[in-house]
Amino acid sequence: MATRGRPGPRRTLSEDELLAAALELLDSEGQLSIRGIAAKVGVAPNAVYTYFPDKSAVIRALVEKLLGESDTGAFTDETKPWRDRIEALALGVRERLVAHPSAAGLLMSAPMDGPRTTALNERLLDVLIGAGLDPADAARATYLLIVYVLGAIALEVADETDPGPLPPEEDRITRRRATFDQIPAEIFPRSAAAAPTMARFISTDQYLWGLRRLLDGLE
């Protein structure tokens, strides 16, 4: 079993610098390690342990960073309609994770219970209760929306094998269309006919279509 390094003697870096290095590592290599983060910032691994006791702590902090940064803009604007606020949040989360697709998987495996993600959850509950849901239904709706947003993003980035930001949306749709156009219509006629629509399952339009249907049901 690997042993954790001893804490470094001085705090010469910031957590934000180390998390930025972690994201760079994910974008370039698709995986994380304490040694890799240390190499990115030019320090010994022990210096990283001064801030994070292990890799799981780095992952938790990255989840906090990526989701916490979405708790801004139109989502926080109480003068906007509740549906517009939730759409803004969903689009913000997608934008951040599409820029760092290797990080998307972290959100499916790491707990989302830090202070920033809890504050985000609190604000989302407040929006839904303000829209007329009772507290229990608002809690269920919050979970439903999280499952939809993270699930849709996870399926979107799963198509890509290379780390780093995804190619432009239309390029990815064109590539998917070429794959779906190979479905034999004589065996799967409905799937073949639906190929143009299925190719766009990873599009912003599809993402918002699903989100809006969920919001219709909640409303």
At 75-134, the pLDDT tens digits run: 999 999 999 999 999 999 999 888 888 888 777 777 788 888 899 999 999 999 999 999
Same domain, 86 and 173: yes
Q: For the domain that residue 214 is a member of, what is the CATH number?
A: 1.10.357.10
C-alpha–C-alpha distance, residues 14 and 29, integer Å? 22
Residue 11 pLDDT = 52
C-alpha–C-alpha distance, residues 39 and 45, integer Å? 8
Cα angle value 212/215/219 (rounded, 5°): 140
Residue 161 pLDDT = 77
Residue 163, in any domain of the structure = yes
Residue 161, in any domain of the structure = yes
Same domain, 49 and 3: yes
Same domain, 202 and 99: yes
* Structural contact between residues 89 and 46, judged by C-beta atoms closer than 8 angstroms: no
pTM over 0.75: yes
Residues of the chain falling short of pLDDT 70: 1-11
Residue 206 pLDDT = 97
DSSP 8-state class, residue 110: S
Q: Find tokens 């320090």 and name the residue.
A: 43
**In the chain, what's the furthest Cα-to-Cα distance?**
69
Residue 59, in any domain of the structure = no
Residue 58, in any domain of the structure = no
Distant-in-sequence contacts of 174-179, Cβ < 8 A, 24+ apart: 174/199, 176/200, 176/201, 176/202
Residue 4 pLDDT = 53
C-alpha–C-alpha distance, residues 82 and 162, integer Å? 37
At 86-95, the pLDDT tens digits run: 999 999 999 9
Burial of 159 per CB tally in 10 Å (0-12, 13-18, 19+): middle
Residue 94 pLDDT = 93
Q: For the domain that residue 40 is a member of, what is the CATH number?
A: 1.10.10
Residue 19, in any domain of the structure = yes
* Domain interval for residue 174: 66-218
Residue 103, in any domain of the structure = yes
How many domains, in total, are found in the chain?
Answer: 2
C-alpha–C-alpha distance, residues 27 and 162, integer Å? 9
